[in-house]
Structure 1
Amino acid sequence: MSQQIETPQYHPHEKRNRIMSIVGAASGNLVEWFDFYIYAAFAIYFTHALTAPDMSDSTKAIYVWGVFAASFFMRPIGSWLFGWIGDTYGRKNSMVISISLMAFSSFLFAALPTYDQVGMAAPFCLLAVRLLQGLSVGGEYGTVATYMSEIALKGQRGFYSSFQYVTLAGGQLLASALGVLLLALMSKEQLMDGGWRIPFVIGGIVAILSLFARRHLKETLSKDEASKEGSGSLRELFKNNWRTFLLVVGYTSAGSLCFYLITVYSKTYITSLGFTDKTVGYMMTFALFIFMCVQPLFGMLADRIGRRTSMMLFSICCAVFIYPVMVLAMPYFHNSAIMVTLLLIFLMLCLSFYTSISGLVKAEMFPSHIRALGVGFAYAVGNAIFGGSAPAVALKLKDVGHENTFFVYVVIMLIICLFCSMRLPKEPKYLHHDH
C-alpha cells in the first residue's frame, strides 16, 4: 500500500536553498567516508610496513582488519559527542567539527612511521590514528542523517535522504577508483614501499575543501529545541526512548553487517576466488558505481511504498539470497569476472532497500531535541558490534576452515532484522510535521 504524504508547495528560492544545503552536507559526507574507506582499499599495501615482519600473512591480515573493527568501537563515543553537539549547539557546528577532525587524522595517517623505523610502536600508532578516524565518522552519520532528513522537502524525504548513501557509496567508489588509478600509475611494489600514503594526503586535502562548503550550511535546529531540558542527553534518550533505541539497534545491526559484507569483505572474498587485485578493483569500482546511482531510485520507491515495507523487503531479499549467491554462485562462476560482478550488483540492489532510507528511518523515530544523538548512537552501537567486525570475523572463520558459517550468521541477523522491521510504524512517528 502506498504511503500518501501531502507534498507542500515551496517557493523556488526556498527549494533551491534546501537542495543546496543537502548538496553541502552530502559533499562533506562523501569526503568523510572516502577518507574512512581508503583504509579498506589500501590495507593490502600498508600491512607489511606497519606490522612485524615475523608475523604470518594471515596474522597480519587479521590484525589490520582487527584495527578496522576496533575503529568502529570509537563510533559510539563519536556519536555521543557529536550528537550532543548537534542537539545542543546545532547540526552545522557538529558537521564542521567532524570534518575538521577527519582532515587532521588523514594527514596523521599519511605520516605514520613504519615498523622498520619505530618497531612495535608502528602497529600501535596505526591503531591510535584509526581510532581517531572512527571518532570522526561516529559523529558524521547521525548528524548528517538528521540534517538531511530535516532539510529535505516533505513528501520526497526518501529521495533526498538517499543522497546520504549516494555520497557514502561515492566515498567507497572514489577510494576503489583511486586504487585502480594508482595501480595503473605505480607498481604494486611502489605502493607497498610508501605509495599507500598518497591517498591519505589526498583525503586530508579534500576534507579541508569540504570544510569551507559546510561553513555555509543553513541550521535546522531551533533555539527552542536546543534549549529543551535533556537536549542531546543520553539520560533523556534512555529514559523516554529506550524502546526506540533498541529497535533501531536491532535493524541497524543486520543492515551494517550486510553493508560491510557486500561492499568491503566481498573484495577479499572475490580475490580468494582467483581474480587479480587489478581485476577485483575494476569489478568493485563498477559495482559500487551502480550501487551509488540506484540509491535515489530506491529512495523514491520508499516514498511510495513506505519505509516499513522497504525495510521488510531488504530483510527478506538478503536473507534468501546472501548464502546461495556468496557460497554457491560466486565460486561456480570463478572464471567469469562479468558474472561475479553481476552477482555482486544483485546483492547491492537487495541492500539498497535498506541503505537508501536507513538514515531517514532512524531520524523519523526520534524527537528533534535528541535526534542527532539517538540516530548516531543507535547506529554506532549496532555498527560497532556487528558491522565493523564483519571482515575480521569472516577472516577468522575462514582461517579455521568454517567460512560458510559466517554467511549463516548473517542470515540469522537478517531474520532478527525482519522482526524489528515489522515493528516499525506505518507512518513516520516524527518529522511528519517538522520544519
Structure 2
Amino acid sequence: MKRSEPLSAGGDTGTGADTGDLRATNAPAPPPRSSLRQLAAASVGNAAEWYDWYAYSFLAVYFADQIFPKGSGNSLVPLLSTFAVFAVGFFMRPVGGLLMGAVADRRGRRAALTVTILLMGAGSLLLALTPTYAATGVLAPVVLVVARLIQGLSVGGEFAASTTFLVESAGPGRRGLFSSFQYVSTTIGQLLASGIAALLAHLLTEGQMGDWGWRVPFLIGAVISLAGFWIRQGAEETHDVPGKEAARPALFEAVRRHPRESLLICGITAGGTLAYYTWTTYLPTYAQMNAGFDKGDALAVGTISLAFFAALQPLGGLLSDRIGRKPLLIGFAVGFAALAVPLLHAVGSSFASLLLVQCAGMVLLTGYTSIAAAVNAEVFPARVRAAGIGFPYSLTVALFGGTAPYLGTWFKDSGHPGAFPWYVAGLCLVSACVYVILPETAKRPLDRSVQPAGS
C-alpha cells in the first residue's frame, strides 16, 4: 500500500529528534492539505466512536437489572456487574491499541481509522439488541460482554490512530491546538451520549427506560458510526507508509526498541485517565450513590459540564503551544492531588453543588486532556508512533481509567466511600512526579522518518 508520493503534515517536516533516538527525515514537504478537512475527518469519527463507548456508562443504571439478576438483598449487585463489564471492555483496549496501531504504522492512519469506526458501530448495534436475562438467561450477559470487547478493541485502536493523525496534520507551532481536538471530539461524543440519555430520562418513565428506552441511544450510535465512516473516506493520509514489506515495523517493535518511551506513556497517562473517567463518566453515579442525587438531574449536570469542558480544550492546546506542555501537565496533577478529596467530599444533593464540583475539576483536567495527544505523539518516532502510543496508553487506561467506576462503587458497597477520593489524589501525585522529569517537546520538530533508527 505504498503511495506514489509521501504525505506529511502541514509543512512541519521535522529536522531533529524529539526524544531518545528519534530520527528526522530530509524528505521535502508535500503541498499543504486542508486543515479543516483533516480536523473534521478525525473529529467526527472520533465523536461517533466515543458516543458509543460512553453511552454504556450513562445508561448502566437503567439496564443493569435487565441483564444481571440481583444478589440476595443487595441492590448494588447488578450495577457492580455492569461496571465490571465496563472494565472488561477496557482490557481489550491494549489489544486494539497494539493491533490497530500496527495497521496505522504499516498501512496508514486512514486505514486504521476506517476499521475502528466500523467495529464500534457493530458493537453498538449488538448492545442495542442484547436480550434480557429473563428471556435468555446467561446468554444476556455473554452478549453484553462480547459487544463491549468489540468496542474495547475499537476504542484502543481509535486513540492510537486518531492521535497520530491529528498531530501529524498540524502545521508548525500548532500541534497543541490540533491535539486539543482529540478531547473536543471525544467530549462531543460523550456530550451527545449524556444529552440523549438525559432527554430520554425526562421523556420516559423509569419503567420505560428500564424496559426499552436504554436501547435507543445504542441504535443511534450505530447510525452515527456509519456517518463517521463516510466522512473519513475523504481524509488525506499523514504517514509515509514503508514501501517494502521487510521494512515495515514489527508488532512489538515500539515496546522492544523504545522501552523508556513506553514507560513514559504509562506515567503520563495514569493520573490523567483516572481523573478523567472519575470526573466525566463516574461523577453522576457517584453523586447518586453518595448524596442521593436524582438520576435525571445528575445526567443534566453532566451534560452542562461537558459542554464547558469541550470549550476549554482549544484554549489549553493554544496555551501549551506558547508556554510548553509541562506547565499545564504539572498544574493538572498538583491541582488534583491537592483538591480531589475536598471536591469529591463537597458533592451534595443540590444541583448547583454538583455542577460547581464537576466544572472545577474540568478546569484542572484540561491541563492534561488538551495536550495528551501532542505529548504522546512527540514521545515516539513516526515509524512506530501509533502502536507505540496505543499499547502502553490503552493498558494504563484499562488499569486505572476503566476500573474507576467499579472501584468507586466497590468502596461504597464495602462501607468506605471516602477512600476513593484519596485514591484519585494519590495517583495524580504519582503522575506529577513523571511530569517533572518529562522533557519539554513543544518546540521540537516532529519526527517523520519511517526508517528504523540506525538504518
Alignment match, 1:97: 115
Q: Do structure 1's residue 409 and structure 2's residue 414 form an aligned pair? A: no
Counterpart position of 2:404: 390
Residue 283 of structure 1 deviates from its aligned partner by 0.8
Give the drift of 1:239: 2.5
Give the conservation status (yes or no) of the 8 Å contact 1:86–1:372: yes
Cα distance, 1:326–1:222 mapped onto 2, change above 3 Å: same
Taking the TM superposition and a 5 Å limit, the aligned residue runs for 1:149-298 are 149-224=167-242, 229=247, 231=249, 233-234=251-252, 236-272=253-289, 273-298=291-316
Output one character per residue of 1:136-192: Cα deviation in whole Å (capped at 9) or x when no partner: 111001110010000012201111210110011111111110012112322121111
Q: Is the 8 A contact 2:92 2:152 kept in 1?
A: yes
1:422 aligns with 2:436: yes
Contact 2:288 2:298 in 1 (8 A): yes
Q: Is the CA contact 1:150–1:431 (under 8 Å) kept in the aligned structure 2?
A: no
Q: Which of the pair is proportionally richer in helix? A: 1
Call closer, same or farther: CA 1:206–1:421 in 2, change over 3 Å: same
SS of equivalent residue, structure 1 residue 162 = helix
Q: Deviations over 1:278-334 (max 9, x none)?
A: 21121111001100111001111111110122111111111111111112x22xxx2
After TM superposition, list the pairs within 5 Å mapping 1:3-402 onto structure 2: 17-53=34-70, 56-224=74-242, 229=247, 231=249, 233-234=251-252, 236-272=253-289, 273-327=291-345, 329-330=346-347, 334-402=348-416
SS of match in other structure, 1:221: coil
Q: Structure 2 vs 1, CA of residues 106 and 161 (structure 1 numbering), >3 Å: closer, same or farther?
A: same
Q: Percent identity?
A: 35
The amino acid that maps onto 2:269 is T
CA distance in 1, matches of 2:155, 2:241: 26
State how far apart, in whole Å, the 2-side matches of 1:379 and 1:165 are. 15
2:375 corresponds to which letter in structure 1?
V
- The answer as to whether partners of 2:98 and 2:390 remain within 8 angstroms in 1 is yes
Cα deviation for residue 274 of structure 1 reads 2.3
SS of 1:216's equivalent in the other structure is coil
Residue 366 of structure 1 contacts residue 430 of structure 1 at CA under 8 Å; is this kept in 2?
Answer: no
The match for 1:3 is: none
Q: Deviations over 1:83-123 (max 9, x none)?
A: 01000001000000110111111111111111111112211
Q: SS state of the match for residue 279, structure 1? A: helix
Q: Shift of the alpha carbon at 1:198?
A: 0.8
- Give the letter aligned to residue 145 of structure 2: L
1:223 aligned counterpart, secondary structure: coil
Matched residue type, 1:381: L
Q: CA deviation at 1:61?
A: 1.0
Q: Deviations over 1:194-237 (max 9, x none)?
A: 12111111000010011011111100111348867462531x21
Shift of residue 15 of structure 1?
A: 5.8
Which deviates the most, 387-396 or 269-278? Answer: 269-278
Q: What does residue 4 of structure 1 align with?
A: none
Q: How many residues matched?
A: 422
Q: Per-residue deviation at 1:251?
A: 1.8
Describe the shift of the 1:218–1:192 C-alpha distance in structure 2 as closer, same or farther (beyond 3 A): same
- 1:6-47 CA distance string (max 9 Å, x none): x9799xx96661221111111100000000001011111111
Flag the 1:68–1:433 CA change in 2: closer, same or farther, 3 A: closer
Return closer, same or farther for 1:206/1:226 CA change in 2, 3 Å cut-off. farther
**Runs of 5+ unmatched residues, structure 1:** 1-6
Contact 1:359 1:375 in 2 (8 A): no
In structure 2, C-alpha distance between the alignment counterparts of 1:148 and 1:282, rounded to whole Å: 31
In the superposition, the TM-score normalised over structure 2's length comes to 0.89
Alignment CA distance shift 1:155-1:429 (3 Å):
closer
- Quickly say closer, same or farther: Cα 1:232–1:37, change in 2 above 3 A: farther
Alpha-carbon spacing, 1:118–1:8, altered in 2? closer, same or farther (3 Å):
closer
State the AA in 1 paired with 2:322: R
Q: Secondary structure at the match of 1:403?
A: coil
Q: Which runs of 5+ in 2 are unaligned?
A: 1-9, 14-29, 450-455
